[in-house]
Amino acid sequence: MLSQNRFIKSLPLKKRIFFFKRYLELILPTHFAHHPLCDNFKQEILSLKILTKNFYICRGCFWVFLSMILSFSVLIIMNPFRNQTAIEKFIIVILVSSPTWIGVLFSFKYRIWKDLLRISLGTGFGIALGELILTPNFFLKILIAGFIFVFIWTFSYFRKRFSRGKSQIICLDCEKMNTGICEGFKQQIDAQRQYSQELSNYIQENSSWVDIKQKLSRKRY
């Protein structure tokens, strides 16, 4: 049996568009939630209603990417640091990005503080990416690229050790986990199952055509 992705690629264009549309309708609304859709994590998720569907987006990622896009755009259009030296620009990137470490190492009672730290991270990265494009100084490009690489690696490492550990504690203390099923991921799982079922039904209804495709693909190899 062909894998799902390989099978979809072998479909006529009209059917590929249909299943891509179904994927967006079923999977996309919860794809960027990054957390269980339950009361324990409701402060970590933004719910946006677009047309008739609710879309769930990780709150931290939302602020990071929004602030990164805005700061990058402002820098490209206005270039406010054009009169600063390479070292001054590098220091600005470090100072703007670094406060986000506070959110990794410490907990906050109010979510607004985590939002501000995510905005700090996104703004710093937006400035860094903008300077990579704008600056003619090769030394500054190397400094910023190295900073981004080291920052992402260390941030991911420590966030995995500290922040995700806090989330795991919340899940382990959840009464519903005694059943072995996380209700917070039920919507995501149900959507994935429905998509897989629709694709399986199509495969079964067109089994003879699929067999021909399989034989053709085997001949190629």
Write out pLDDT tens, residues 99-132.
877 766 666 667 788 888 889 989 988 998 988 8
Measured N-to-C along each axis, helices 59-78 and 111-134 cross at an angle, to the nearest 10 degrees, of 30
Q: Where are the domains of the chain?
A: 31-191
Q: Which of 52, 156, 49, 169 is nearest to 107 (CA)?
A: 169
Structure tokens at 202: 């199509």
Give dist(CA 127, CA 92) in Å, integer: 9
Q: Which residues of the chain have pLDDT under 50?
A: 1-2, 212, 215-216, 219, 221
CA dihedral 51, 53, 58, 63 (to 10 degrees): 10
Phi-psi region of 123 (alpha: psi -120 to 50; beta: other; left: phi over 0): alpha
Give dist(CA 150, CA 114) in Å, integer: 22
